[in-house]
Amino acid sequence: MMSHIPIIDVRARKVIDSRGNFTVEATVDLEYSTGVCAAPSGASTGATEMQAFAKGGPDESIKFFEKNVKNKIIGFNALDQNSLDTLLRELDGSEYLSNIGGNMATAISIANAKAVAQALDIPLYKYVGGMFSRSLPRPMGNVIGGGRHSKNGTTIQEFLVSTQGKTFLESAYINTRVHKRIGELLSDKLKGVSVGLGDEKAWTASISDMEAVDIIKEATKEISAEHKVKILLGTDFAATEFFKDGKYHYREGIKSRDEQIDFAAHFSKDLGFYFIEDPIEDTDFEGFAEVTKKVGKNSVIVGDDLYTTNPERLKKGIELGSTSGILIKVNQIGTLSSTVETVKMATEAGISRTVSHRSGETTDDFIAHLSVAFGAEFIKTGTIGGERLAKLNELIRIEEDFF
Ligand code: PGA
Ligand code: ZN
């Protein structure tokens, strides 16, 4: 068994993401293998997540890397992912990785893991998850959207579907059927209202949240009957984005904290939504706990902005019973090792994991592998669009290993 594989070289570059913005990519060379990783970027970012880039943007992150990080990493043992990730944090020296940027750290951290997996001749999911990574997630995809991801869309950021098909391929495909049907329903019903696609390729139209609920229900009912398969409904309120002066500001009106808690529970109990993400603003751990208690086992209440994949925040959430689920995004916390720490804590506490894309994505498919490695219940990565399908199609390939 190899115990030392030195990093021969590490390089960073700017590449372009799905929104047409710059992001960063890293290449890690080992003697006989190479790992490349491009980091995604969020729009509705959590207040406690790592700074995506150094102040001044991707160029400054790359400059910091060239000057302070590159030479310290060359020669380092690639097999010691934990120490490499700790070193990245130390070299950065700030709480929110604001010198190197969470995206640069993520790209280096994941590129290293990919290079090692290739050197060991095993897929990334097996390297990260070990020999017990034997379960596939279900695809969860955004079909109607608004919030920060489009102009004039719903107040609620995402309306999601997750087909519970026999295979990953079937589930991912039927999600696209729902997406297509919703496009048709929107143009049939809303003559004169312009319909477009948001950042994650979900439909966006100037409709109310309740109109979106009606349309998603109609479409899933039809497609579910047609294909004889169960389709779960989901939503990401991204509630912090419309929380101001102690109240929740919907386009149709304002809700108090108590009304918002009831509204979230209503999505579970009366509207039949299974997956409910960030229904409460991200400082109110107690409000989350009230929702989680009200819905019981009927739905999974998921913390994204609440936790920002941060083990300390998750610890607090577990103590207070804030949620029954967590969203996992590596660049919120900046390294693979910290992500694994959070995932382990969640798994031990019986918290459901959903590995997620960001609204500004690249064609990198590493989250497909992580979703398997982490035993995730879902992978949230859209339904259509090349940068989303890169992940879904990789899971279709991974599924072949499981037969
Ligand atoms: P982001 O949002 O990638 O724009 O931060 C996605 C989400 O809130 O789940
Ligand atoms: Zn979210």
**In whole angstroms, what is the distance from residue 23 CA to residue 57 CA?**
9
pLDDT band (50, 70, 90) for residue 1: low
pTM over 0.85: yes
The average pLDDT across 95-99 equals 98
Structure token digits, residue 349: 């506490």
What amino acid positions are annotated as catalytic residues?
Answer: 200, 329
Q: Is the beta carbon of 304 within 6 A of some atom in ligand 1?
A: yes
Which residues make Cβ contacts (< 8 Å) with residue 273, sequence separation at least 6? 233, 234, 235, 267, 299
- Domain locations in the chain as residue ranges: 9-121, 138-402
Q: Is 238 in the pocket of ligand 1 (CB under 6 A)?
A: yes
Q: Evaluate whether 9-121 and 138-402 have a shared fold.
A: no
The CA 148 to ligand 1 mean position distance, Å, reads: 9
CA–CA separation, 92 vs 302, rounded Å? 30
Q: Decide which of 3.30.420.40, 3.20.20.120, 3.40.50.1360, 3.40.50.11540 is the CATH code for 138-402.
A: 3.20.20.120
The pLDDT value given to residue 192: 66
Chain segment 316-357, per-residue pLDDT in tens: 999 999 999 999 999 999 999 999 999 999 999 999 999 999
Distance 250 CA to ligand 1 centre (A): 19
**Residue 263 confidence (pLDDT) above 90:** yes
Nearest to 360 by CA among 387, 394, 330, 332: 387
**What confidence tens digit (pLDDT) does each residue in 115-169 have?**
999 999 999 999 999 987 789 999 999 999 999 888 888 999 999 999 999 999 9
Please tell me if the CB atom of residue 146 comes closer than 6 angstroms to any atom of ligand 1: no
What's the CATH code, domain 9-121?
A: 3.30.390.10
Token pair listed for 164: 């519970």
